[in-house]
Structure 1
């Protein structure tokens, strides 16, 4: 996680940091704690606007998840990086892997850059 944090900070120095404990407004645990990077504005059909991070990191007992939330096309990550990233599961907005040694870090960095560049 520390190495991923360093890499993301190198890609986007000074980006907004988010530290989420995984709890909802009622204090119930609904997700693993995670760290977010950057700022992504979500516009809902009902006119509501929510700010959230562009890139997120979460660790759990099965490994590490990197969330790339600012890419609109749900198939893009899997189609673009799925075959070259290594031993990882690539779905919609998430890249999951057990350890950095299992993946091609250059491919992951490219996916993260795409996430920061997407609007």
Structure 2
């Protein structure tokens, strides 16, 4: 069995300051607010070991259903460093305009897509608005 907390710690420690401090603050908040949620770590590699995405930490669980009838579990909230800052993924929303419409005007200096809130530093955004977006997704039909 994989030691997910150790993988998460190694991932957090791999980033330079001040990005590391921001990532640690967000991770600590998630673990404190959702102590029973499932933790994930995705190293960004596909089945054949090729890097296809930035590594990320996941929180919570929800089922994804595919057109072919298959399904799998995935996380609700993802946290990832990127070249210019940090991305928080709010996954599984049916309405792809929800994040921008609900939080775009009040979050501060962030780029918002259908499922991602990206910002350079925590100090550039209103962290209460970010936490509201996270809470919305974690509380929809249970966080798991």
Q: TM-score range by the shorter chain?
A: over 0.9
1:112 aligns with 2:134: yes
Q: In the aligned structure 2, how far is the partner of 1:10 from the partner of 1:76?
A: 26
Number of residue pairs matched? 119
**Cα distance, 1:112 vs. partner?**
0.2
1:79 counterpart SS class: helix
1:102 aligns with 2:124: yes
1:10 aligns with 2:32: yes
Higher helix share: 2
> Which residue of structure 2 lines up, in the alignment, with residue 27 of structure 1?
49
Q: Describe the superposition over 1:10-48 as per-residue Cα deviations: whole angstroms up to 9, x where unpaired.
A: 221121010111000010000011000000101122210
TM-score by length of 2: 0.80
Which structure 1 segments of 5+ residues have no match?
Answer: none
Higher strand share: 1
Which has the greater radius of gyration? 2
2:136 counterpart SS class: helix
Which structure 2 segments of 5+ residues have no match?
Answer: 1-22
TM-score by length of 1: 0.96
**Correspondences of 1:10-89 after superposition (within 5 Å):** 10-89=32-111
